Structure 1
Amino acid sequence: MNFFTHLGKFLLMLKGMFSKPENFKMYWKEFMHQCVEIGMGALPIVIIISLFLGAVTTIQTAYQLVSPLVPQSTIAQIVRDSMILELSPTVVSIVLAGVVGSKIASELGNMRVSEQIDALEIMGINTKAYLLFPKILGALVVVPCLIVISAVLGIWGGRTAGELAGILANDTFDIGLRQNLNFFNINFALYKAYTFAFIISSVPAYYGYYVKGGALEIGRASTSAVVVSCILILLADYLLAALLL
């Protein structure tokens, strides 16, 4: 299938999620389940990646800024803006595309292959609304929270690494952290977070929902979902930067 066929099926899938709403209690239970699955399942890897991203950014920035004319507090500003603008939203979202996206695609693909989705449709349940909408909504709630946690932990990891490596003291880092703070950067990071959260959840849901075949096709659909999600995240990152910055 070509690009426009996939795009049309994807848009029809999104339309189908709102065409025949189910009982609100069904949505709420599944929504809370997805929030826990996505948030708690990805939290450990997000914590580890964020701490090391902040630490490495601090050390490499200090290595580059060798001029005595540049104050050491500049390192903290670079680490802060790097984590908020790019590293936390983009890098963490790419990791989540692999962790969360592959799980969504394989879960829905297994339900499709084992004919569980067909059984739900025979019972009169709108499977697009019941299976896909809570996943996408849960990602839209949880993923931005994970990215905010990532930014905070990344800055803290950079601060700790600077102190342990003897690069700059915590007081100097805190001074730089408060200098020239542009609050639009935080808003921009949240714009990216919600955009990436939608991509991370909806694209794997599409590939998993429409998978055909057996276990081999589920694996291929999961791989395709992760690859396409990563490409779309990078494309959306560029477009948002070009439009808003």
Structure 2
Amino acid sequence: MNGKTVLVTGGSRGIGAAIAVRLAGAGADVAITYTADETAAKEVVAAIEATGSRGFAVRADAGDAGDAAGAVDWAAQTLGRLDVLVNNAGVGVLGPLDALTPADVDRVLAVNVRGAFLAAQAAAGRMGEGGRIITIGTCMTQRVPGPGGTLYTMSKSALTGLTKALARELGGRGITANIVHPGPVDTDMNPADGPYAGPQAAMTALGRFGRPEEIAAMVAFLASEQAAYITGAEFSVDGGHAA
């Protein structure tokens, strides 16, 4: 990744932060977006810079159409160009079907679907041959373990279609598009010692939560030159959740 430039949306915590630091450690200059926690974003930038790479952060809400595309343009200008987009920003609204409101639907689709589409659209206009668009999905697109996930699963399933269509759209330009489906991962949003952790871990073949770094490892591979012949593909990093 030496000399490459990367934007990780939602990169101030959890899986996004792990991806940003992993790619920086591989030699890439990395920009991240965040929505609220500026302190956390600055800590990730410091971790990026500690690897010897350049790091930058900007406040941007993926649910805002202007921010979703504007963050890509900002990253390309700040970094000098854009080689890799990691569409990681997302929100999860879980609950009974009859409890979900139109506002819930609008917010989840705006962030998880429209934001990812607009970021990819903007990135495609900036990337040259060898570009990478990597999107973070969810294991729930492969197996929905119980009720309460209709809205979230619908939104993330749309990203599989987006990824496959991007692969066809951009393949002739040497740009790849792939999607990674994490299983339960130990983050502040879903801690491995949280009240709902036991049943989630039991649904995996390995009987445990994943670590953000394990998702980042797959993303780093897909961003590398070794993955140049992989596009339009789905990768489950889920501890056997879908097995």
Question: What is the TM-score when the length of structure 1 is the normalising length?
Answer: 0.30
Higher RCO (C-alpha under 8 Å, 6+ residues apart): 1
Structure with greater strand share of residues: 2
Question: What is the TM-score when the length of structure 2 is the normalising length?
Answer: 0.30
Larger radius of gyration between Structure 1 and Structure 2:
1
